[in-house]
Amino acid sequence: MQDRIVITGMGTVNPLGLNVKESWESVIAGKSGVGPITLFDPGPLQVHIAAEVKNFQPEKYMDAREARRRDRFEQFAIAASKEALADSGLEITEANAGRVGVIISSAIGGLHSLQEATLTNYKEGPRKVSPFLIPMLMANGGAGMAAIEFGIKGPCFSVASACASGADGIGTALMMLQTGMIDAALAGAVETTITSTGVAAFDRVGAMSRRNGDYSMTPQPFDKNRDGLVMGEGAAVLVLERESSAKARGATIYAELAGYGATADAFHVTAPHERGEGGAAAIRMALSSAKANDDEVGYINAHGTATSLNDQAETRAIKAAFGERAYQIPVSSTKSMTGHMMGATGALEVVFCVNAIREGILPPTIHYETPDPECDLDYVPNKAREANISLALSNAFGFGGHNAVLAIRKYL
């Protein structure tokens, strides 16, 4: 019988907290992480709001000299990984280091460092560009730095599939564990795109909310009056293990990572397929991978970005996958609180699914006021809800038509 793959540790840095406990309490309370941009002067930009990580001090997680040589996204990756490893109690030794993998994904990588170096090169010339720029901007920097930090010598890389990066990275780790290639993995994602270039670029695509004056009700996933996403940042990392290895060392097992599905829309570079066909196929694939029936699904953490096209397409995808039963499944978007952390959100939302299963509480979709006839499912509006869940799905759909779905099962 094949080993089950289980989650034994979790760590995060995000707009709602600097650890899992604080973040979960904020989500259940319906707290918003959105506020004015403080990381830079938004000046001429049409978007002045974001969901920033607050009060992060990299020196708490690494040497100050090393912190200066690491991009913000790498600092976040180390912080989340340290919490996850400490939470799991997994000790990296010379004996097991080659049997542990690191798959910490990022859609974009070190955008802060890239933007700063571009300006420096333009204003002061190439000799003023930092010699540390390449390791600071490369998308695999979070994974590589974590491997160095903890002495992990197994497979180490980053998956880049836009806003599905985190989910695809975790799914890839799942498959590597299932084949016996490794016994454990640090798997998750990190993103820090709140820069003037990042905000301007996503706004030019037409994806961003511009409610700068009164942001108290934005973003509004699935609401008729939604006007776009709010950019977030952060990291989330899981410790995944083969069940036999976890039980052998007496680890606390939080949940089973039961299934993974991934598809491509092959439709448009930014817009999802309007019928949600790719998303529906990924959901069915994840359920098949988990050997689960439709009736087992008790909660879906939606991609739910609050863009008009995405929310409608995702609603149709869920209906296509589940038929009439879609109306019985609670669906919520925690991006209504964290903002859209791009590639990292899919990893954080697995953490929320694990806690929802363990504690029997569904996170709400806050800011929900006016139903949209095209979005007519149960979106757990505004308040957390008690529920007994045996299986949850986490949807992550990215630009380019990437669809990734993870299935998380209660561990019994």
- Tens digits of per-residue pLDDT, 19-43? 999 999 999 999 999 999 999 999 9
Residue 228's pLDDT band (boundaries 50, 70, 90)?
A: very high
- Range scoring the smallest mean pLDDT among 52-56, 207-211, 275-279, 301-305: 275-279
pLDDT of residue 270: 65
Same-domain check for residues 154 and 25: yes
Q: With contact defined as beta carbons under 8 Å apart, do 316 and 288 qualify?
A: no
pLDDT of residue 276: 81
pLDDT of residue 2: 78
Output the six-digit token pair for 12.
């995060």
Residue range(s) defining the domain that contains residue 122: 5-248
Does the pLDDT value for residue 1 go beyond 70? Answer: no
CATH number at 175 reads 3.40.47.10
Same-domain check for residues 361 and 270: yes
Last residue of a domain, one of 226, 248, 270: 248
pLDDT of residue 267: 79
d(CA 366, CA 27): 10
Same-domain check for residues 231 and 265: no
Q: Kindly state the average pLDDT of the residues 37-65.
A: 96
Same-domain check for residues 227 and 299: no
Q: What is the 3-state secondary structure (H, E, C) of 52-80?
A: CCCCCCHHHCCCHHHHHCCCHHHHHHHHH
Residue 272's pLDDT band (boundaries 50, 70, 90)?
A: confident
Q: Is residue 353 part of a domain?
A: yes
- Range scoring the smallest mean pLDDT among 113-122, 161-170, 282-291: 113-122
Residue 262's pLDDT band (boundaries 50, 70, 90)?
A: very high
Q: How far is CA 331 from CA 119, 222, 242, in A?
A: 43, 10, 29
Same-domain check for residues 376 and 268: yes
Output the six-digit token pair for 258.
């039961």
Residue 260's pLDDT band (boundaries 50, 70, 90)?
A: very high
Does the pLDDT value for residue 198 go beyond 90? Answer: yes
Q: Is residue 312 part of a domain?
A: yes
Q: Is residue 70 part of a domain?
A: yes
Last residue of a domain, one of 217, 248, 279: 248
pLDDT of residue 316: 96
Q: Is residue 254 part of a domain?
A: no
Q: Is residue 39 part of a domain?
A: yes
d(CA 344, CA 355): 18
Q: Is residue 253 part of a domain?
A: no
Same-domain check for residues 191 and 293: no
Tokens 């090169």 sit on residue: 121
Percent of the chain with pLDDT over 90: 91
Q: Is residue 116 part of a domain?
A: yes
Q: With contact defined as beta carbons under 8 Å apart, do 362 and 127 qualify?
A: no
Q: Kindly state the average pLDDT of the residues 73-83.
A: 97
Q: Kindly state the average pLDDT of the residues 86-96.
A: 97
Q: Is residue 255 part of a domain?
A: no
Tokens 């918003």 sit on residue: 32
Q: Kindly state the average pLDDT of the residues 156-181.
A: 97
Same-domain check for residues 77 and 198: yes
Output the six-digit token pair for 109.
């990588």
Same-domain check for residues 120 and 48: yes
d(CA 246, CA 277): 37
Q: With contact defined as beta carbons under 8 Å apart, do 274 and 307 qualify?
A: no
Same-domain check for residues 326 and 198: no
Does the pLDDT value for residue 399 go beyond 90? Answer: no
What single-letter amino acid sits at 285?
M
Per DSSP, the chain holds a count of helices (H) and strands (E) of: 13, 14
Same-domain check for residues 48 and 188: yes
Give the active site residues.
Answer: 163, 303, 340
Q: How far is CA 296 from CA 1, 320, 409, in A?
A: 22, 17, 9
Same-domain check for residues 279 and 338: yes
Number of independent structural domains in the chain: 2
Same-domain check for residues 233 and 264: no
d(CA 365, CA 300): 12
Last residue of a domain, one of 221, 248, 275: 248
- Tens digits of per-residue pLDDT, 130-141? 998 998 899 999
Instruction: Compute, in degrees rounded to 10, the torsion defined by CA atoms 63, 103, 198, 137.
Output: 50
